[in-house]
Amino acid sequence: MKKRKIAISIVLLCMVAVAVLASVFIFGQKPEYVSDVDEHKVEAAYNLLKDSLRTETMSYHDFLAEHAENYGQDTVSAEPKNGTSVDGYDGLAAVLDYNAGSDYIVNVKTSGLYQFVLDYKPMGNSLADFNIEVKVNDSRDYEEMKNIMLPLYWTDETKEYPKDRYGDEMAPNQLVKSDWTSAYLYNNTYVSVKPLLFYLQSGENVISVTNISGDGLGIGTLTALEPTFTTPAYSDYRSRQDGELIDGLLKINSTDYTLKNTTQAIYSTENNPALTPHDSEYKKLNTLTWTEAGSEITYELNVPKNGYYHIAFHYKNGKEEFDVFNTIKIDGEVPFTELQSYAFPSTQNNWANETLCDADRKPYEIYLAKGSHSLTLRSEQEPIVQAWQYAKVICEHVSQLELEITKITGSGKDKNRTWQMTRYLPLIPDYLEAYATLIHAIKYELQDDTPNGV
């Protein structure tokens, strides 16, 4: 059973906290289970607040709502216009220093939403992830296009861990992989499990890529392709392949990863006999910790025989009151939809075992053929993004409303004067109702992932 530590940071910012605390303390409500919400009412409340903001921004969440299921149907590749031949790459490539860019000309027959795959490679001495800005036809359809992550991939120099003068194990050197990588595009906060979607018009499209990080980013072919949504539900997955459930136990230590896309996933030691390796005298590296959405760790499995297997993790959730989410991939693919943003429950900062299972705690059976396989975990935050979006618009609108009120009353406070604000701002009752509606929706979105309710 894997010994691992999951400590993803669920970044609700202060905004969800403000919204929920306002509900509990200002309105005097105790945590309660929200059985349902009126989706039309929630949508109307969100649009009222968003449309009344003076600063107009389009989030990826809003962009998808406007282009729901309008998918393209082509697969087209293009090379950078300013590309040249590069050793070790089959095609033209461009090397971008800071703020440099390159254009791709992509012709599609069908307008709609497309996924992008980009070839890239570190060409300089930078050891930090690259970030790019993407524009389509000289415009950004949503804010997340401003900052798209192209992560570097890392391996250990050795699994024979060096020791300090006290005999305690130390982390080995990390080596960055310098070969070409083909990757789907995600923004730097990983707001979605699936790759970002970009709208292309029928005919010619100019896709502009600008390096907004360090020098030495090599970019090659960009491919626009029809989105694929072929991941089956577990019931369909289980019925496709005959096989027996295999007995026995195959253990892999958390430190035995083969690849990671972040240096933020770090080794640590814990003096706990429930973890392996463990030594009562010397410190042993026996846990791996990461906290950022998008962090991806890959392990290698050597399976002794064909059949179905249960997969379990020994983990610690550092979030005392909230689940953490990881997508599980086998050989680079998610076997079934239930393993997208799989929730690892709160463990109250203790170690616990989690066998991948359904809502009734029935373990999933995952088919593995005899031989070598990869198992990848990636931290996710998509399950909280909609609640975060609601809280964000509340906070932005409250700040704007406060400024409007100050313009009317002035900055000085007069205890002897009463204002009838609806004479000046007649929509205040509608705004307050919209706040309450969205706070209710936030509770509904988050309550199943916190043991004590929101």
Angle at alpha carbon of residue 125, lines to 120 and 127, rounded to 5°: 75
Element (H, E) at 324: strand 324-330
Q: At what angle do helices 39-51 and 428-446 cross, to 10 degrees?
A: 130
For every residue of 148-209, DSSP letters joined together read EEE---EEES-SS--B-TTS-B-PPPEEE--S-EEEE-EETT---SSPPEEEE-SEEEEEEE
Q: How high is the pLDDT of residue 102?
A: 98
Q: Is there a contact between 110 and 178 (Cβ–Cβ < 8 Å)? A: no
- The pLDDT profile of the chain, 454 residues, written as one tens digit per residue, is 333 333 222 222 234 334 443 443 334 445 677 888 999 999 999 999 999 999 888 999 999 999 887 899 999 999 999 999 999 999 999 999 999 999 999 999 999 999 999 999 999 888 899 999 999 999 999 999 999 999 999 999 999 999 999 999 999 999 999 999 999 999 999 999 999 999 999 999 999 999 999 889 999 999 999 998 889 999 999 999 999 999 989 999 999 999 999 999 999 999 999 999 999 999 999 999 999 999 999 999 999 999 999 999 999 998 878 999 999 999 999 999 999 999 999 998 899 999 999 999 999 999 999 999 999 999 999 999 999 999 999 999 999 999 999 999 888 777 888 889 999 999 999 999 999 999 999 999 999 898 776 6
Helix (H, G, I), strand (E, B) or coil at 423: helix
Torsion region of 201: left, alpha or beta (phi above 0 gives left; psi -120 to 50 gives alpha): beta
pLDDT at 453: 64
Six-digit token string for 9? 């940071």
Query: What's the pTM value of the predicted model, to 2 decimals?
Result: 0.88
Tokens 């415009």 belong to 139
Q: Which residues contact 335 (CB under 8 A, 6 or more apart)?
A: 231, 237, 328, 366, 367
Q: What is the domain partition of the chain in residue ranges?
A: 13-59+386-449, 75-225, 232-382
Contacts of 293 (CB under 8 A, 6+ apart): 8, 9, 11, 189, 190, 379, 380, 381
N- to C-terminal Cα separation, the chain:
33
- CA 303, CA 372: separation in Å to the nearest integer? 6
Torsion from C-alpha of 320, 326, 330, 333, nearest 10 degrees: 170
What is the distance between the alpha carbons of residues 49 and 47, in angstroms, rounded to a whole number?
5
In 359-421, beta strands by DSSP E: 366-368, 371-380
Q: Do 75-225 and 232-382 come out as alike in CATH topology?
A: yes
Domain at 232-382, CATH homologous superfamily: Galactose-binding domain-like (2.60.120.260)
Question: In the Cβ-directed half-sphere of 251, how many Cα atoms lie within 13 Å?
Answer: 9
Strands 203-211 and 130-136: antiparallel
- Taking alpha carbons only, the member of 388, 394, 387 closest to residue 445 is 387
Q: What ranges in 276-381 are assigned the alpha helix state H?
A: none
Contacts of 258 (CB under 8 A, 6+ apart): 155, 298, 299, 300, 374
Whose tokens are 């010619």? That residue is 204
Rounded to 5°, the CA angle 119-380-148 comes to 35
Instruction: Compute CA distances 68 → 71, 135, 199, whole Å.
Output: 8, 20, 11
Residue 22: which residues within 8 A CB-CB, separation 6 or more? Answer: 435, 439
Fold type of domain 75-225: Jelly Rolls (2.60.120)
Residue 144 gets which letter from DSSP?
Answer: G
**Half-sphere exposure (CA, 13 Å, Cβ side) for 150?**
31
How far is 273 from 281, CA to CA, in rounded Å? 12
Calpha distance 87→277 (Å, rounded)? 44
> What pLDDT, on a 0 to 100 scale, did the predictor assign at position 22?
42
CB 116 within 8 A of CB 222: yes
Q: What is the pLDDT of residue 249?
A: 92
**What is the pLDDT, as a whole number, of residue 454?**
60
